Amino acid sequence: MKINLAIRVFSLSILFAVLLSADSNILQFDDDAFASKDDYHYTGGMFYGYMFDSDKSPINPSFLKDYKNTNAISFTYMVFTPKNKRSSTVILNDIPYAGYAKLNFLDYKYTKKEFYKIAVNIGAVGPMVKARQNQSNIHHLLGHSIPSGWDNQLKDHLFYGFSIAYGNKTHQGTLKNYKWDWCNYAEGNAGSFYSSLFFSTVFRFGKNLPETFDTISSLSTASTNELLNFNPNKSLNWYITAGAFANKVGNFYIINKAIDLGYQLSKIDYTYGLQISFNVLYKHIKYSFKIKTTSIHAKDNFPFQNASWGGISATWKF
């Protein structure tokens, strides 16, 4: 009963977002093959974000009276596998097979230089999110071998979460015909799937920079932060980004549940890393390519210390 209800909630929420008049969209696909020869652990996923038209909110507190208000909804999908995908038995010294899906509902208060964000999310892990079928179909299409251990994936479980965040462009400037800016970002996550304190800083440089916010996300490589102040360009423009992040992890369900099931792992303590991107803008669309590398530190045993993956995305506005 819970599984059927969750599927209906996911489906109706996506349909609700699509039917409403929206301002901006972002669609991104992640894969470790974009950045390395690896095909395991966080092996791939997708992100879709939908931001509504902004307005002057009548419920802004006094210190935010001059800020615009907007809402967004996003869908995140992630697939995790161990390194040895030929074995059909449980591999106790590596992460388990798991698929994860999440719906995020977000509220923003923002200007051209800073923003505040609060969000609530619901999600699920297990066979109900169809990670086994989706990965098998993609591998079959590409002619790759199909992983053998999906019978051992984590069981169905539902989640909830909450987050708050703040982003600020602390510095901006020009260099001949080019522009640059620097954006710092802090986010706190609390929930039954994932809890963390996350900090990032990103430098942007390019021709005719958009007024958007390029930040780094704590899990995937995309977020609805990129949709704030997104407007069409009259000509072809480009920009690059380079950023760093640090993340103190409190709870990560996939690892913690595996430990409870007898896996020989340790809880993740903190992560840090780098992310770069190249972006091209033309009229109503922005195309982006990102590479993210992460160093993972646990209190004891962990099957890997470094991971890299990339993302390809399109951002557009109606």
User: What pLDDT does residue 1 have?
Assistant: 43
C-alpha 303/C-alpha 257 separation (Å) is 16
Which two tokens mark 245? 């992040």
Task: State whether the Cα torsion 287-74-101-138 is positive or negative.
Answer: negative
C-alpha 308/C-alpha 7 separation (Å) is 31
In the chain the first and final C-alpha atoms are separated, in Å, by: 38
Which two tokens mark 30? 């992640």
Instruction: Encode 107-116: b = buried (16+ Cβ within 10 Å), e = exposed.
Output: ebbbeeebbb
Instruction: Encode 72-83: b = buried (16+ Cβ within 10 Å), e = exposed.
Output: bbbbbbbbbbbe
Q: pLDDT (tens digit, 9 = 90+) per residue, 2-30?
A: 445 445 554 555 555 454 445 899 999 99
C-alpha 199/C-alpha 140 separation (Å) is 38
Measure the CA dihedral 260/266/270/271, to 10°.
-100
Compute how many other C-beta atoms are within 10 angstroms of the C-beta atom of residue 34.
18
Token look-up 């069981």 returns 155
C-alpha 300/C-alpha 89 separation (Å) is 24
Looking at every residue in the chain, the average pLDDT score rounds to 87
Q: Are 5 and 196 in contact (CB under 8 A)?
A: no
User: What pLDDT does residue 59 have?
Assistant: 62
Q: pLDDT (tens digit, 9 = 90+) per residue, 254-301?
A: 999 999 999 999 999 999 999 999 999 998 899 999 999 999 888 776
C-alpha 216/C-alpha 223 separation (Å) is 8
Distances (CA, A) of 18 to 61, 136, 312: 30, 27, 22
Residue 147 has pLDDT above 60, yes or no: yes
User: What pLDDT does residue 60 have?
Assistant: 64
Q: pLDDT (tens digit, 9 = 90+) per residue, 207-220?
A: 889 999 999 998 77
C-alpha 99/C-alpha 47 separation (Å) is 14
User: What pLDDT does residue 56 have?
Assistant: 56
User: What pLDDT does residue 146 have?
Assistant: 81
User: What pLDDT does residue 3 have?
Assistant: 45
Q: Are 276 and 241 in contact (CB under 8 A)?
A: yes
Q: What ranges do the domains of the chain cover?
A: 2-317
pTM: 0.88
In this structure, which CATH number among 3.40.190.10, 2.60.40.10, 3.40.50.300, 2.40.128.140 belongs to the domain 2-317?
Answer: 2.40.128.140
User: What pLDDT does residue 291 have?
Assistant: 94
User: What pLDDT does residue 62 have?
Assistant: 65
Q: pLDDT (tens digit, 9 = 90+) per residue, 58-105?
A: 566 666 778 999 999 999 999 999 988 888 899 999 999 999 999 999
Q: pLDDT (tens digit, 9 = 90+) per residue, 218-233?
A: 877 789 999 999 988 8
Helix (H) or strand (E) holding 27: strand 24-31
Q: Are 303 and 258 in contact (CB under 8 A)?
A: no
Q: Are 47 and 78 in contact (CB under 8 A)?
A: no
C-alpha 210/C-alpha 234 separation (Å) is 12
Which two tokens mark 309? 């993956």
